[in-house]
Amino acid sequence: MSFDSITTSIDDAVSDFFDPVATAVGDIVFYTVPVGGTDLPLIVAWLVVAGLVFTGWFGLIQARKLKLALEIVRGKYDEDGSPGEVNHFQALTAAVSGTVGLGNIAGVAVAVSIGGPGATFWMILCGLLGMATKFVEVTLGVKYREEHPDGTVSGGPMHYLPKGLAERFGGGGARLGKVLAVLASIMILFFGLFGGNLFQTNQSYAQISSTFGGEDGFMASSAGAVLFGLVVAVLVGLVLLGGIRSIASVTSRLVPAMAIMYVLACLTVILVNITAVPDAIVSVVDGAFDPEGVAGGVIGALIVGFQRAAFSNEAGIGSAPIAHSAVKTKHPASEGLVALLEPFIDTVVVCTMTALTIVIANPASWGEARQGESIGGVTITSDAFATVLPWFPHLLTVAVLLFAFSTILTWGYYGLKAWTYLFGRSRTSETVFKSVWSLFVVAGALLSLDSLISLADSALFLLAVFNIVGLYLLAPVVKRELNSFLEFVRARREGKTADTDPGTGETETAKAL
Protein backbone atom coordinates (compact mmCIF):
# COMPACT_ATOMS: atom_id res chain seq x y z
CA MET A 1 0.00 0.00 0.00
CA SER A 2 1.46 3.38 -1.01
CA PHE A 3 1.88 6.33 1.32
CA ASP A 4 -0.65 8.35 -0.71
CA SER A 5 -3.28 5.64 -0.37
CA ILE A 6 -2.73 5.54 3.41
CA THR A 7 -3.25 9.28 3.80
CA THR A 8 -6.30 9.13 1.50
CA SER A 9 -7.74 6.31 3.60
CA ILE A 10 -7.23 8.36 6.78
CA ASP A 11 -8.89 11.38 5.17
CA ASP A 12 -11.86 9.29 4.04
CA ALA A 13 -12.22 7.57 7.43
CA VAL A 14 -12.14 10.83 9.35
CA SER A 15 -14.58 12.46 6.94
CA ASP A 16 -16.98 9.52 7.10
CA PHE A 17 -16.97 9.67 10.91
CA PHE A 18 -17.09 13.44 11.44
CA ASP A 19 -19.11 14.62 8.42
CA PRO A 20 -22.48 14.07 10.12
CA VAL A 21 -21.22 15.78 13.29
CA ALA A 22 -19.75 18.74 11.39
CA THR A 23 -22.96 19.15 9.38
CA ALA A 24 -25.20 18.99 12.46
CA VAL A 25 -23.11 21.45 14.49
CA GLY A 26 -22.67 23.76 11.49
CA ASP A 27 -26.42 23.84 10.92
CA ILE A 28 -26.86 25.06 14.50
CA VAL A 29 -23.99 27.56 14.71
CA PHE A 30 -24.55 28.99 11.23
CA TYR A 31 -28.34 28.79 11.39
CA THR A 32 -29.87 31.12 8.81
CA VAL A 33 -33.13 33.01 8.55
CA PRO A 34 -34.62 34.30 5.29
CA VAL A 35 -34.16 38.07 4.88
CA GLY A 36 -34.95 39.98 1.69
CA GLY A 37 -34.82 36.94 -0.54
CA THR A 38 -31.59 35.51 0.86
CA ASP A 39 -30.35 33.76 4.01
CA LEU A 40 -28.81 35.61 6.97
CA PRO A 41 -26.58 33.57 9.34
CA LEU A 42 -27.64 34.57 12.84
CA ILE A 43 -24.05 34.37 14.09
CA VAL A 44 -23.08 37.12 11.63
CA ALA A 45 -25.99 39.25 12.87
CA TRP A 46 -24.85 38.56 16.46
CA LEU A 47 -21.36 39.92 15.68
CA VAL A 48 -22.61 42.94 13.71
CA VAL A 49 -25.16 43.92 16.38
CA ALA A 50 -22.39 43.77 19.00
CA GLY A 51 -20.36 46.18 16.87
CA LEU A 52 -23.35 48.54 16.61
CA VAL A 53 -24.05 48.40 20.36
CA PHE A 54 -20.45 49.05 21.41
CA THR A 55 -20.02 51.77 18.78
CA GLY A 56 -22.98 53.59 20.35
CA TRP A 57 -22.03 52.75 23.96
CA PHE A 58 -18.56 54.23 23.57
CA GLY A 59 -19.58 57.16 21.38
CA LEU A 60 -18.01 56.19 18.04
CA ILE A 61 -14.69 55.52 19.76
CA GLN A 62 -13.13 54.05 16.60
CA ALA A 63 -13.27 57.50 14.98
CA ARG A 64 -12.78 59.76 18.02
CA LYS A 65 -9.74 57.94 19.42
CA LEU A 66 -8.03 56.74 16.25
CA LYS A 67 -5.28 59.36 16.54
CA LEU A 68 -4.71 58.46 20.20
CA ALA A 69 -4.46 54.77 19.26
CA LEU A 70 -1.71 55.56 16.76
CA GLU A 71 0.15 57.60 19.40
CA ILE A 72 -0.01 54.65 21.82
CA VAL A 73 1.40 52.27 19.20
CA ARG A 74 4.33 54.65 18.70
CA GLY A 75 5.06 54.42 22.43
CA LYS A 76 4.09 57.99 23.38
CA TYR A 77 2.41 56.91 26.62
CA ASP A 78 4.69 54.03 27.63
CA GLU A 79 5.72 53.83 31.30
CA ASP A 80 8.84 52.21 32.70
CA GLY A 81 8.23 49.18 34.87
CA SER A 82 4.88 48.27 33.32
CA PRO A 83 3.97 44.58 33.70
CA GLY A 84 3.85 42.50 30.53
CA GLU A 85 6.12 40.92 27.94
CA VAL A 86 5.91 42.93 24.69
CA ASN A 87 5.34 46.52 23.61
CA HIS A 88 2.14 47.85 22.03
CA PHE A 89 3.38 47.51 18.46
CA GLN A 90 4.51 43.90 18.96
CA ALA A 91 1.21 42.95 20.61
CA LEU A 92 -0.70 44.48 17.70
CA THR A 93 1.34 42.68 15.03
CA ALA A 94 1.09 39.37 16.89
CA ALA A 95 -2.71 39.67 16.96
CA VAL A 96 -2.95 40.92 13.36
CA SER A 97 -0.91 37.93 12.20
CA GLY A 98 -3.70 35.69 13.49
CA THR A 99 -6.36 37.43 11.36
CA VAL A 100 -4.55 38.59 8.22
CA GLY A 101 -4.12 35.49 6.11
CA LEU A 102 -5.62 33.33 3.43
CA GLY A 103 -9.07 34.75 4.10
CA ASN A 104 -7.92 38.19 2.98
CA ILE A 105 -6.63 36.75 -0.29
CA ALA A 106 -9.16 34.04 -1.12
CA GLY A 107 -12.18 34.90 1.02
CA VAL A 108 -12.55 38.42 -0.36
CA ALA A 109 -12.48 37.09 -3.93
CA VAL A 110 -15.32 34.74 -3.05
CA ALA A 111 -17.25 37.64 -1.45
CA VAL A 112 -17.09 39.90 -4.52
CA SER A 113 -17.97 36.93 -6.72
CA ILE A 114 -21.11 36.06 -4.75
CA GLY A 115 -22.12 39.53 -3.59
CA GLY A 116 -20.70 41.61 -6.44
CA PRO A 117 -18.58 44.77 -6.01
CA GLY A 118 -21.16 46.13 -3.55
CA ALA A 119 -20.12 43.54 -0.97
CA THR A 120 -16.94 45.62 -0.55
CA PHE A 121 -18.92 48.57 0.84
CA TRP A 122 -20.63 46.46 3.50
CA MET A 123 -17.37 44.70 4.29
CA ILE A 124 -15.77 48.06 5.11
CA LEU A 125 -18.74 49.08 7.27
CA CYS A 126 -18.62 45.83 9.23
CA GLY A 127 -14.87 46.25 9.74
CA LEU A 128 -15.43 49.73 11.16
CA LEU A 129 -18.08 48.42 13.58
CA GLY A 130 -15.79 45.56 14.62
CA MET A 131 -13.22 48.10 15.82
CA ALA A 132 -15.46 48.95 18.80
CA THR A 133 -15.99 45.29 19.72
CA LYS A 134 -12.27 44.63 19.55
CA PHE A 135 -11.63 47.59 21.88
CA VAL A 136 -13.99 46.16 24.50
CA GLU A 137 -12.72 42.58 24.53
CA VAL A 138 -9.02 43.50 24.53
CA THR A 139 -9.46 46.02 27.35
CA LEU A 140 -11.01 43.22 29.40
CA GLY A 141 -8.23 40.85 28.37
CA VAL A 142 -5.57 43.14 29.84
CA LYS A 143 -7.69 44.12 32.86
CA TYR A 144 -8.14 40.54 34.06
CA ARG A 145 -4.93 38.94 32.79
CA GLU A 146 -2.94 36.65 35.08
CA GLU A 147 0.65 37.64 35.81
CA HIS A 148 2.96 34.71 36.55
CA PRO A 149 6.04 34.77 38.85
CA ASP A 150 8.41 34.42 35.87
CA GLY A 151 7.10 37.66 34.34
CA THR A 152 4.94 36.00 31.68
CA VAL A 153 1.21 36.69 31.49
CA SER A 154 -1.93 34.83 30.39
CA GLY A 155 -5.11 36.47 29.20
CA GLY A 156 -8.19 35.98 27.08
CA PRO A 157 -11.84 35.00 27.61
CA MET A 158 -10.81 32.08 29.81
CA HIS A 159 -9.54 34.68 32.32
CA TYR A 160 -11.77 37.74 31.99
CA LEU A 161 -15.06 35.81 31.88
CA PRO A 162 -14.68 34.11 35.31
CA LYS A 163 -12.83 36.97 37.01
CA GLY A 164 -14.93 39.78 35.60
CA LEU A 165 -18.29 38.12 36.14
CA ALA A 166 -17.32 37.11 39.69
CA GLU A 167 -16.27 40.69 40.43
CA ARG A 168 -19.56 42.13 39.14
CA PHE A 169 -22.09 39.47 40.16
CA GLY A 170 -20.55 37.49 43.02
CA GLY A 171 -20.90 33.73 43.37
CA GLY A 172 -23.45 33.27 40.61
CA GLY A 173 -21.27 35.23 38.21
CA ALA A 174 -18.23 33.19 39.25
CA ARG A 175 -19.99 29.91 38.47
CA LEU A 176 -21.27 31.15 35.10
CA GLY A 177 -17.87 32.59 34.27
CA LYS A 178 -16.10 29.31 35.08
CA VAL A 179 -18.38 27.36 32.75
CA LEU A 180 -17.95 29.90 29.96
CA ALA A 181 -14.17 29.92 30.50
CA VAL A 182 -13.84 26.14 30.14
CA LEU A 183 -16.05 26.13 27.03
CA ALA A 184 -14.08 29.04 25.55
CA SER A 185 -10.78 27.23 26.14
CA ILE A 186 -12.06 24.08 24.43
CA MET A 187 -13.28 26.07 21.42
CA ILE A 188 -9.99 27.98 21.09
CA LEU A 189 -7.94 24.80 21.38
CA PHE A 190 -10.05 22.89 18.87
CA PHE A 191 -10.04 25.65 16.27
CA GLY A 192 -6.35 26.29 16.85
CA LEU A 193 -5.34 22.70 16.10
CA PHE A 194 -7.48 22.29 12.99
CA GLY A 195 -8.25 25.77 11.64
CA GLY A 196 -5.25 27.76 12.87
CA ASN A 197 -2.73 25.01 12.23
CA LEU A 198 -3.65 22.03 10.02
CA PHE A 199 -5.73 24.04 7.53
CA GLN A 200 -3.05 26.74 7.17
CA THR A 201 -0.34 24.16 6.47
CA ASN A 202 -2.58 22.25 4.08
CA GLN A 203 -3.50 25.30 2.00
CA SER A 204 0.03 26.72 1.87
CA TYR A 205 1.37 23.32 0.82
CA ALA A 206 -1.27 23.06 -1.91
CA GLN A 207 -0.28 26.51 -3.20
CA ILE A 208 3.46 25.82 -3.25
CA SER A 209 3.09 22.38 -4.85
CA SER A 210 0.86 23.74 -7.62
CA THR A 211 3.14 26.74 -8.29
CA PHE A 212 6.44 24.89 -8.27
CA GLY A 213 6.26 21.82 -10.47
CA GLY A 214 2.53 21.09 -10.49
CA GLU A 215 1.15 17.57 -10.14
CA ASP A 216 4.29 15.99 -11.61
CA GLY A 217 6.80 17.91 -9.49
CA PHE A 218 8.67 16.70 -6.41
CA MET A 219 6.64 18.92 -4.06
CA ALA A 220 3.43 17.16 -5.11
CA SER A 221 4.84 13.80 -4.00
CA SER A 222 4.48 12.28 -0.55
CA ALA A 223 8.17 12.90 0.11
CA GLY A 224 7.74 16.55 -0.83
CA ALA A 225 4.74 16.86 1.49
CA VAL A 226 6.61 15.32 4.42
CA LEU A 227 9.66 17.52 3.79
CA PHE A 228 7.51 20.64 3.62
CA GLY A 229 5.67 19.70 6.80
CA LEU A 230 8.87 18.94 8.70
CA VAL A 231 10.54 22.22 7.69
CA VAL A 232 7.53 24.28 8.75
CA ALA A 233 7.14 22.26 11.96
CA VAL A 234 10.76 22.87 12.95
CA LEU A 235 10.51 26.61 12.25
CA VAL A 236 7.24 26.88 14.18
CA GLY A 237 8.60 24.84 17.08
CA LEU A 238 11.72 27.00 17.38
CA VAL A 239 9.66 30.19 17.54
CA LEU A 240 7.07 28.75 19.93
CA LEU A 241 9.81 27.73 22.37
CA GLY A 242 10.53 31.43 22.90
CA GLY A 243 6.95 32.22 23.90
CA ILE A 244 5.11 35.42 23.02
CA ARG A 245 8.32 37.46 23.02
CA SER A 246 9.77 35.27 20.29
CA ILE A 247 6.47 35.23 18.37
CA ALA A 248 6.13 39.00 18.66
CA SER A 249 9.72 39.47 17.54
CA VAL A 250 9.00 37.49 14.36
CA THR A 251 5.53 38.91 13.65
CA SER A 252 6.60 42.52 14.30
CA ARG A 253 8.90 42.14 11.30
CA LEU A 254 6.91 39.67 9.24
CA VAL A 255 3.44 41.26 9.39
CA PRO A 256 4.45 44.79 8.33
CA ALA A 257 6.62 43.36 5.54
CA MET A 258 3.77 41.13 4.31
CA ALA A 259 1.22 43.91 4.49
CA ILE A 260 3.44 46.43 2.71
CA MET A 261 4.35 43.97 -0.04
CA TYR A 262 0.74 42.98 -0.59
CA VAL A 263 -0.66 46.53 -0.52
CA LEU A 264 2.07 47.73 -2.90
CA ALA A 265 1.13 44.97 -5.33
CA CYS A 266 -2.53 46.02 -5.09
CA LEU A 267 -1.58 49.66 -5.66
CA THR A 268 0.48 48.66 -8.71
CA VAL A 269 -2.54 47.01 -10.31
CA ILE A 270 -4.74 49.97 -9.38
CA LEU A 271 -2.29 52.59 -10.69
CA VAL A 272 -1.76 50.77 -13.97
CA ASN A 273 -5.55 50.79 -14.37
CA ILE A 274 -5.97 54.27 -12.89
CA THR A 275 -8.57 55.27 -15.47
CA ALA A 276 -10.79 52.42 -14.28
CA VAL A 277 -10.72 53.55 -10.63
CA PRO A 278 -13.69 55.99 -10.79
CA ASP A 279 -15.90 53.36 -12.44
CA ALA A 280 -14.80 50.76 -9.88
CA ILE A 281 -15.69 53.02 -6.95
CA VAL A 282 -19.06 53.78 -8.54
CA SER A 283 -19.70 50.05 -9.01
CA VAL A 284 -18.87 49.43 -5.33
CA VAL A 285 -21.26 52.13 -4.09
CA ASP A 286 -24.01 51.40 -6.62
CA GLY A 287 -23.62 47.68 -6.06
CA ALA A 288 -24.09 48.16 -2.33
CA PHE A 289 -27.54 49.69 -2.79
CA ASP A 290 -28.63 48.46 -6.20
CA PRO A 291 -26.75 45.24 -7.02
CA GLU A 292 -27.55 43.40 -10.22
CA GLY A 293 -27.43 39.63 -10.43
CA VAL A 294 -26.92 39.16 -6.69
CA ALA A 295 -29.22 36.79 -4.81
CA GLY A 296 -31.22 38.86 -2.37
CA GLY A 297 -30.33 42.20 -3.97
CA VAL A 298 -29.12 44.81 -1.47
CA ILE A 299 -29.60 42.45 1.48
CA GLY A 300 -27.63 39.76 -0.34
CA ALA A 301 -24.67 42.07 -0.95
CA LEU A 302 -24.87 43.32 2.65
CA ILE A 303 -24.88 39.81 4.13
CA VAL A 304 -21.95 38.63 2.01
CA GLY A 305 -19.91 41.73 2.90
CA PHE A 306 -20.71 41.49 6.60
CA GLN A 307 -19.98 37.77 6.63
CA ARG A 308 -16.57 38.18 5.00
CA ALA A 309 -15.57 40.96 7.39
CA ALA A 310 -16.84 39.16 10.49
CA PHE A 311 -15.03 35.95 9.54
CA SER A 312 -11.84 37.85 8.70
CA ASN A 313 -11.20 40.26 11.57
CA GLU A 314 -12.57 37.98 14.35
CA ALA A 315 -13.91 40.96 16.33
CA GLY A 316 -15.95 39.54 19.21
CA ILE A 317 -14.51 36.03 18.88
CA GLY A 318 -12.24 36.42 21.91
CA SER A 319 -9.02 35.21 20.28
CA ALA A 320 -7.16 38.52 19.92
CA PRO A 321 -7.26 39.41 23.67
CA ILE A 322 -4.95 36.45 24.29
CA ALA A 323 -2.12 38.09 22.32
CA HIS A 324 -2.89 41.65 23.38
CA SER A 325 -2.89 40.66 27.07
CA ALA A 326 0.88 40.23 26.95
CA VAL A 327 1.42 43.97 26.41
CA LYS A 328 3.51 46.08 28.77
CA THR A 329 1.05 48.54 30.28
CA LYS A 330 -0.56 49.66 33.53
CA HIS A 331 -3.70 50.84 31.72
CA PRO A 332 -5.90 48.12 30.14
CA ALA A 333 -7.78 50.59 27.94
CA SER A 334 -4.53 51.69 26.29
CA GLU A 335 -4.22 48.30 24.61
CA GLY A 336 -7.93 48.26 23.90
CA LEU A 337 -7.42 51.41 21.83
CA VAL A 338 -4.45 49.82 20.06
CA ALA A 339 -6.57 46.75 19.29
CA LEU A 340 -9.24 48.76 17.49
CA LEU A 341 -6.63 49.29 14.76
CA GLU A 342 -6.67 45.55 14.07
CA PRO A 343 -10.01 45.33 12.16
CA PHE A 344 -9.03 48.55 10.38
CA ILE A 345 -5.81 46.96 9.09
CA ASP A 346 -7.32 43.55 8.39
CA THR A 347 -10.65 44.53 6.83
CA VAL A 348 -10.72 48.20 5.91
CA VAL A 349 -7.22 48.16 4.37
CA VAL A 350 -6.16 44.66 3.31
CA CYS A 351 -9.56 43.18 2.41
CA THR A 352 -10.62 46.37 0.62
CA MET A 353 -7.40 46.52 -1.38
CA THR A 354 -7.95 42.92 -2.50
CA ALA A 355 -11.53 43.66 -3.52
CA LEU A 356 -10.61 46.81 -5.46
CA THR A 357 -7.78 45.01 -7.23
CA ILE A 358 -10.16 42.30 -8.44
CA VAL A 359 -12.90 44.76 -9.45
CA ILE A 360 -10.47 47.02 -11.32
CA ALA A 361 -8.44 44.24 -13.00
CA ASN A 362 -11.63 42.32 -13.81
CA PRO A 363 -9.90 39.01 -14.65
CA ALA A 364 -11.77 36.46 -16.75
CA SER A 365 -11.90 34.02 -13.83
CA TRP A 366 -13.85 36.56 -11.75
CA GLY A 367 -16.45 36.90 -14.48
CA GLU A 368 -16.74 33.12 -14.69
CA ALA A 369 -17.11 32.85 -10.92
CA ARG A 370 -19.90 35.44 -10.95
CA GLN A 371 -21.69 33.28 -13.51
CA GLY A 372 -21.63 30.36 -11.09
CA GLU A 373 -18.42 28.59 -12.11
CA SER A 374 -16.55 26.90 -9.24
CA ILE A 375 -13.25 28.79 -9.14
CA GLY A 376 -11.01 29.08 -6.09
CA GLY A 377 -10.63 32.48 -4.45
CA VAL A 378 -6.83 32.37 -4.58
CA THR A 379 -7.03 31.73 -8.32
CA ILE A 380 -9.20 34.81 -8.88
CA THR A 381 -6.91 37.04 -6.82
CA SER A 382 -3.81 35.62 -8.50
CA ASP A 383 -5.34 36.19 -11.95
CA ALA A 384 -6.14 39.81 -11.03
CA PHE A 385 -2.49 40.47 -10.18
CA ALA A 386 -1.28 38.57 -13.25
CA THR A 387 -3.09 41.03 -15.55
CA VAL A 388 -0.36 43.54 -14.65
CA LEU A 389 2.35 41.46 -12.98
CA PRO A 390 2.68 38.11 -14.83
CA TRP A 391 5.24 36.89 -12.33
CA PHE A 392 3.13 37.80 -9.29
CA PRO A 393 1.54 34.34 -8.78
CA HIS A 394 4.96 33.17 -7.60
CA LEU A 395 5.24 36.11 -5.22
CA LEU A 396 1.68 35.44 -4.08
CA THR A 397 2.79 31.95 -3.17
CA VAL A 398 5.44 33.47 -0.91
CA ALA A 399 2.79 35.75 0.61
CA VAL A 400 0.48 32.77 1.24
CA LEU A 401 3.34 30.92 2.96
CA LEU A 402 4.20 33.89 5.17
CA PHE A 403 0.56 34.58 6.01
CA ALA A 404 0.05 30.91 6.90
CA PHE A 405 3.27 30.75 8.95
CA SER A 406 2.38 33.82 11.02
CA THR A 407 -1.15 32.49 11.58
CA ILE A 408 0.21 29.13 12.77
CA LEU A 409 2.52 30.94 15.21
CA THR A 410 -0.17 33.17 16.68
CA TRP A 411 -2.75 30.40 16.99
CA GLY A 412 -0.05 28.25 18.54
CA TYR A 413 0.21 30.85 21.30
CA TYR A 414 -3.58 31.04 21.61
CA GLY A 415 -3.82 27.27 21.77
CA LEU A 416 -1.07 27.07 24.39
CA LYS A 417 -2.92 29.47 26.67
CA ALA A 418 -6.14 27.48 26.29
CA TRP A 419 -4.26 24.22 26.90
CA THR A 420 -2.54 25.44 30.07
CA TYR A 421 -5.84 26.82 31.40
CA LEU A 422 -7.42 23.39 30.98
CA PHE A 423 -4.48 21.14 31.90
CA GLY A 424 -2.26 23.28 34.09
CA ARG A 425 0.77 25.46 33.49
CA SER A 426 3.87 23.28 33.86
CA ARG A 427 6.93 22.58 31.76
CA THR A 428 5.63 19.08 30.98
CA SER A 429 2.20 20.36 30.01
CA GLU A 430 3.65 23.03 27.69
CA THR A 431 6.08 20.56 26.11
CA VAL A 432 3.23 18.13 25.37
CA PHE A 433 1.23 20.88 23.69
CA LYS A 434 4.14 22.14 21.58
CA SER A 435 4.89 18.58 20.46
CA VAL A 436 1.26 17.98 19.49
CA TRP A 437 1.16 21.34 17.70
CA SER A 438 4.25 20.51 15.65
CA LEU A 439 2.83 17.09 14.72
CA PHE A 440 -0.32 18.78 13.44
CA VAL A 441 1.85 20.97 11.21
CA VAL A 442 3.31 17.86 9.56
CA ALA A 443 -0.15 16.25 9.32
CA GLY A 444 -1.46 19.38 7.60
CA ALA A 445 0.82 18.78 4.62
CA LEU A 446 -0.51 15.24 4.25
CA LEU A 447 -4.17 15.40 5.26
CA SER A 448 -7.06 17.74 4.46
CA LEU A 449 -9.56 16.59 7.15
CA ASP A 450 -12.21 18.90 5.70
CA SER A 451 -14.93 17.75 8.09
CA LEU A 452 -12.80 18.56 11.15
CA ILE A 453 -11.92 21.98 9.73
CA SER A 454 -15.64 22.68 9.18
CA LEU A 455 -16.24 21.63 12.77
CA ALA A 456 -13.42 23.91 13.91
CA ASP A 457 -15.07 26.88 12.14
CA SER A 458 -18.25 26.14 14.07
CA ALA A 459 -16.29 25.99 17.33
CA LEU A 460 -14.66 29.36 16.67
CA PHE A 461 -17.94 31.15 16.07
CA LEU A 462 -19.69 29.35 18.91
CA LEU A 463 -17.00 30.99 21.03
CA ALA A 464 -18.40 34.37 19.91
CA VAL A 465 -21.72 33.51 21.59
CA PHE A 466 -20.05 32.92 24.97
CA ASN A 467 -17.66 35.83 24.61
CA ILE A 468 -20.09 38.58 23.57
CA VAL A 469 -22.51 37.73 26.40
CA GLY A 470 -19.60 38.45 28.73
CA LEU A 471 -18.71 41.66 26.86
CA TYR A 472 -22.21 43.04 27.34
CA LEU A 473 -22.17 42.24 31.07
CA LEU A 474 -18.68 43.71 31.58
CA ALA A 475 -19.01 46.83 29.39
CA PRO A 476 -19.33 49.15 32.46
CA VAL A 477 -15.90 47.93 33.59
CA VAL A 478 -14.48 48.91 30.21
CA LYS A 479 -16.06 52.36 30.51
CA ARG A 480 -14.30 52.93 33.85
CA GLU A 481 -10.97 51.74 32.45
CA LEU A 482 -11.32 54.08 29.46
CA ASN A 483 -12.06 57.09 31.68
CA SER A 484 -9.09 56.19 33.87
CA PHE A 485 -6.71 56.02 30.92
CA LEU A 486 -8.01 59.24 29.38
CA GLU A 487 -7.29 60.99 32.71
CA PHE A 488 -3.78 59.59 32.58
CA VAL A 489 -3.34 60.87 29.02
CA ARG A 490 -4.64 64.32 29.99
CA ALA A 491 -2.24 64.48 32.94
CA ARG A 492 0.66 63.24 30.80
CA ARG A 493 0.01 65.95 28.22
CA GLU A 494 -0.04 68.56 30.98
CA GLY A 495 3.23 67.25 32.39
CA LYS A 496 1.62 65.82 35.52
CA THR A 497 1.48 62.30 36.95
CA ALA A 498 -1.68 60.30 37.13
CA ASP A 499 -1.11 57.18 39.19
CA THR A 500 -4.02 54.77 39.13
CA ASP A 501 -5.59 53.62 42.37
CA PRO A 502 -5.87 49.85 41.91
CA GLY A 503 -8.79 49.72 44.31
CA THR A 504 -11.08 52.11 42.46
CA GLY A 505 -9.62 52.37 38.97
CA GLU A 506 -9.53 56.18 39.43
CA THR A 507 -6.44 58.27 38.84
CA GLU A 508 -5.06 60.72 41.36
CA THR A 509 -5.78 63.48 38.86
CA ALA A 510 -9.40 62.34 38.60
CA LYS A 511 -9.74 62.38 42.41
CA ALA A 512 -8.31 65.85 42.61
CA LEU A 513 -10.80 67.05 40.01
CA distance 14 to 384: 36
Domain containing 101 equals 27-492
Give kind and range of the element (H or E) at residue 33.
strand 32-35
Cβ pair 198, 436 in contact under 8 A: no
pLDDT number for residue 473: 94
384: in domain = yes
pLDDT number for residue 292: 64
CA distance 475 to 461: 21
Residues 197-219: pLDDT tens digits?
888 888 788 777 777 766 666 66
- DSSP classification of residue 40: E
34: which strand partners? 39
11: in domain = no
Q: Give the pTM.
A: 0.84
Give kind and range of the element (H or E) at residue 272.
helix 243-272
Q: N- to C-terminal Cα distance for the chain?
A: 79
The CATH number of whichever domain residue 321 belongs to comes to: 1.20.1740.10
**What residues of the chain score a pLDDT lower than 70?**
1-4, 11, 36, 101-103, 213-220, 291-297, 376, 496-513
Tell me how crowded residue 245 is: count the other CB atoms within 10 A of its CB: 15
Q: Which residues, 6+ apart, have CB-to-CB distance to 349 below 8 Å?
A: 259, 263
pLDDT number for residue 452: 78
Cβ pair 14, 452 in contact under 8 A: yes
Residues across the chain: 513
509: in domain = no
CA distance 407 to 346: 13
CA distance 475 to 166: 14
15: in domain = no
Cβ pair 194, 451 in contact under 8 A: no
Number of domains observed in the structure of the chain? 1
Counting Cβ atoms within 10 Å, is residue 19 exposed (0-12), middle (13-18) or buried (19+)? Answer: middle
pLDDT number for residue 497: 58
448: in domain = yes
CA distance 334 to 8: 49
pLDDT number for residue 296: 54
171: in domain = yes
17: in domain = no
pLDDT number for residue 214: 62
CA distance 24 to 251: 37
4: in domain = no
